[in-house]
């Protein structure tokens, strides 16, 4: 959920948690295994999966590498909702 600016306004990068969970299940990996394989603290990883913490660039890179998936497989860029 990292904020970025471009000509269209603020955007955020969101983990496709359902995709990550599905891939882990297909590979018989626990979410803890994924965290360890990616070198991410399991508690931090849990917070990312539950949308409580953003996945920074380093975490995003490590997850893609550990699961051998592309950025587009695991993440989506969405417009940030403006507060009303």
Q: What does residue 63 show for φ and ψ, rounded to 5 degrees?
A: -65, -45
Where does the pLDDT of residue 3 fall: very low under 50, low under 70, confident under 90, or very high at 90 and above? very low
pLDDT of 39 reads 97
32-54: pLDDT as tens digits: 999 999 999 999 999 999 999 99
Query: What CA–CA distance (Å, rounded) separates 45 from 57?
Result: 14
Q: Are 29 and 22 in contact (CB under 8 A)?
A: no
55-78: pLDDT as tens digits: 999 999 999 999 999 999 999 998
In which order are the strands placed within the sheet that holds 9-15?
3-6, 9-15, 75-79
Where does the pLDDT of residue 1 fall: very low under 50, low under 70, confident under 90, or very high at 90 and above? very low
Assess whether pLDDT exceeds 50 at residue 6.
no
Nearby residues of 69 by Cβ (< 8 Å), 6 or more positions away: 23, 63
pLDDT of 2 reads 43
- Token pair of 40, please? 């991410």
């Amino acid at each position: 959920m990292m904020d970025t600016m471009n000509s269209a306004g603020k955007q955020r990068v969101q983990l496709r948690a359902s995709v990550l969970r599905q891939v882990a299940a297909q590979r018989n990996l626990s979410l803890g295994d994924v965290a360890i394989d990616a070198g991410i603290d399991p508690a931090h990883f849990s917070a990312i999966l539950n949308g409580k913490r953003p996945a920074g660039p380093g975490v995003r890179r490590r997850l893609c590498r550990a699961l051998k998936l592309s950025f587009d497989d695991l993440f989506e860029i969405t417009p940030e909702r403006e507060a009303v």
